[in-house]
Amino acid sequence: MSDTLLDVENLWVRFPTRNGIFDAVRGISFSLGRERLGIVGESGSGKSMTGRAVLKLIRKPGFVEADKMQMGETDLLTASERDMRAIRGRHAAMIMQDPKFSLNPVMTVEQQMVEALTTHERVSRREARSRALEMLDAVAIREPERVLRLYPHEVSGGMGQRIMIAMMLIPDPEILIADEPTSALDVSVQLQVLEIMDKLVKDRGMGLIFISHDLNLVANFCDRVAVMYAGRIVEVCEAGKLQEAQHPYTRGLLNAVPDLEHPRDRLEVLERDPAWREAPSVSAR
């Protein structure tokens, strides 16, 4: 297997509306190896749509266009819905923002985790259960036996998100898309959840696409960062060299965050230049 898990070229996500076609993502290119790629941008920049487009989960009437979308051996562009089902969960999984909404409220943790596994593997109920227990243990959940019997409303947000991570990693996917995985959580548990996710992704040699609006968080947990604006990637850089970023939008994002060590009287207000909108996308391949 090659080291490139995902290769995307000129991806568009478009929605027909009453006033013509709205482009949420406008021709971006990126690739993902066994690394952690951060995608940063403000609301509406198209970052979540990018994540969903990779799994072909754009809701109708929206649709995806691209020159190339290759995941491992599979060409996603020509893949049927049936092929996609075999890929989703098994090869690429996704974690969403708020476990309160992303876990099914009327199914127990066990039912939901076991289902994630049995969809892709023929395993006995007992084995599925023991794999679920292992996974819960891996995301640092104490008393996994008890947790399996709980309903989502009975667990805290941090625990819910860890359950979500465990559930998504059970079939052992190579790619994990994390769409704002900690934005809905208490600040106190955000880091813990991220560290658990980070460790699992590293240990398993997975590729991670970490979607967030928080530039500094992404810089800490990723190898590369792509900055999106108005459906395009305006800048790509190594996470370690973020401070050297050139694009005014990235600089604006960096400067809009308070810094304890260098206090300023006034934070900069992000200014947006309409010209950025039209500038061609930077490739993150």
Q: Which of 11, 67, 62 is nearest to 233 (CA)?
A: 11
For residue 65, give the DSSP letter.
E
Give the whole-angstrom CA distance, residue 277 versus residue 142: 48
Minimum separation from the CB atom of position 91 to other proteins (A): 9
The residue (of 36 and 120) whose beta carbon lies closer to other proteins is 120
Name the segment binding other proteins (CB under 8 A); options: 23-31, 97-105, 130-138, 255-263. Answer: 97-105
Q: Which of 10, 119, 192, 255 binds other proteins (CB under 8 A)?
A: 119
Contact 128, 118 (CB under 8 A): yes
Give the whole-angstrom CA distance, residue 218 versus residue 101: 24
Minimum separation from the CB atom of position 31 to other proteins (A): 21
Q: Which of 11, 53, 93, 194 binds other proteins (CB under 8 A)?
A: 93
Name the segment binding other proteins (CB under 8 A); options: 93-101, 140-148, 192-200, 254-262. Answer: 93-101
Which residue matches tokens 């021709």?
27
Minimum separation from the CB atom of position 175 to other proteins (A): 12
The yes or no reply on residue 109 touching other proteins (CB under 8 A) is no
Q: Output the six-digit token pair for 57.
A: 């989960």
Q: Is the dihedral of CA 113, 118, 124, 127 positive or negative?
A: negative
Contact 146, 185 (CB under 8 A): no
SS3 227: strand
Q: Which of 31, 26, 12 is nearest to 226 (CA)?
A: 31
The yes or no reply on residue 105 touching other proteins (CB under 8 A) is yes
Q: Which of 10, 151, 192, 248 binds other proteins (CB under 8 A)?
A: 151
Number of residues that bind other proteins (CB under 8 A): 31
Q: Which of 34, 68, 90, 204 binds other proteins (CB under 8 A)?
A: 90
The yes or no reply on residue 189 touching other proteins (CB under 8 A) is no
Contact 71, 83 (CB under 8 A): no
Give the residues lining the site for other proteins (CB under 8 A). Answer: 55, 57, 81, 85-90, 93-94, 96-98, 101-107, 115-116, 119-120, 151, 153, 164, 167-168, 171
